[in-house]
Amino acid sequence: MASRLRFGGPTPNPEGGSDGGPSVSSKAAGEREGEARMPEPRRREVTDLGGGSEVVHIPRFLPRERAWEWFEFLDKTIPWTRPEIRVFGRSAIQPRDVCYVADEGLTDLKYSCHQPRAHSWNEFPVLKDILKAVHEALPGSYFNSLLLNRYKTGSDYVSWHADDEPLYGPTPEIASVTFGCEREFLLRKKPTKSQAISGTGEAARKRLKVATLQQQHSFLLKHGSLLVMRGYTQRDWQHSVPKRAKASTPRINLTFRHVLT
């Protein structure tokens, strides 16, 4: 689908210096002795999905080396579990590892008949550092909970869904930080009521499939990237990370959310 893509203003890089791009010697590019290096701006792509839904993508959000350090830490120290959930009335093991972290006293998260235990931020100081970087990149945003996902191989995935639980309110902002193996992140428009009931049978199913494909966006989420879904994205769109046979190494994804209080 042709997306309405615009490039937002550069995001200042709080780390300064390397932003994951090629390293530059400290006196390169006409820099004079004693002159402070300006932090490199981070490219910010804004996709207007229409109807008040928007996606912001910052491919080089975290410095590459720092992001690898955080990947190693998260991979080893997060108490990952692979719980049993219920999908369409059937029990299944969730096809990825998960963990949940949240402020104390928030409404419990529950999805697919599963209520994850909420760990405290104090157990994982690194998560507070990552949250700080996200808050700095998104002034005015406030996240108080985090769902962590680990996809061990390309066989792990998350199927089509929307994070439209009432505890996030009608227009939740969700900030997603990726570490490790790059994977495709897809967005598709939810079928409208009239599409959903416009006849049964093979022909109607095909029409719906074509209409859905025409309204699909794909983002390649790289190591150290940030993707933000805003506005009515959870009400009107679904997202997924499909299986990918060629993805052989682990990917960790953190989705920061705000539970209404």
Ligand X SMILES: O=C(O)CCC(=O)C(=O)O
179 binds ligand X (CB under 6 A): no
Measured from the CB atom, the residue of 130 and 158 that comes closer to ligand X is 158
Pattern of binders to ligand X over 102-141, x per CB under 6 A?
A: ----------------------------------------
CB-CB contact of 178 with 225 (8 Å) = yes
Of these, 130, 158, 181, 259, which contacts ligand X (CB under 6 A)? 158
Give CA–CA dist 206/196, Å, rounded.
12
Q: Is 149 annotated as a binding residue?
A: yes
Measured from the CB atom, the residue of 133 and 147 that comes closer to ligand X is 147
Q: Is 163 annotated as a binding residue?
A: no
152 binds ligand X (CB under 6 A): no
Residue number, nearest CB to ligand X: 253
Task: For residue 245, count CB atoms less than 10 angstroms from its CB and return exposed for 0-12, middle for 13-18, buried for 19 or more.
Answer: exposed
Measured from the CB atom, the residue of 31 and 103 that comes closer to ligand X is 103
Q: Residue 202: what are its φ and ψ, rounded to 5°?
A: -60, -45
53 binds ligand X (CB under 6 A): no
Q: Is 239 annotated as a binding residue?
A: yes
Angle, in degrees to the nearest 10, between helices 125-137 and 64-77:
140
Q: Residue 153: what are its φ and ψ, rounded to 5°?
A: -140, 180
241 binds ligand X (CB under 6 A): yes
Q: How many helices (H) and strands (E) does the chain have?
A: 5, 15
153 binds ligand X (CB under 6 A): no
234 binds ligand X (CB under 6 A): no
Cα dihedral value 119, 121, 122, 124, nearest 10: 90
149 binds ligand X (CB under 6 A): yes
Smallest gap from Cβ 199 to ligand X, in A, equals 31
Give CA–CA dist 196/211, Å, rounded.
11
Give CA–CA dist 260/135, Å, rounded.
17
Going by C-beta distance under 8 Å and a sequence separation of 6 or more, which residues neighbour residue 1? 214, 215, 216, 217
Per DSSP, 246 falls in state T
Q: Is 89 annotated as a binding residue?
A: yes
Of these, 60, 239, 244, 258, which contacts ligand X (CB under 6 A)? 239
Of these, 70, 168, 185, 232, which contacts ligand X (CB under 6 A)? 185
255 binds ligand X (CB under 6 A): yes
Give CA–CA dist 179/252, Å, rounded.
5
Binding residues for 2-oxoglutarate: 149, 151, 161, 239, 251, 255, 257
Binding residues: 88-90, 149, 151, 161, 164, 239, 251, 255, 257
Interface with ligand X (CB under 6 A): 147, 149, 158, 163, 176, 185, 221, 239, 241, 253, 255
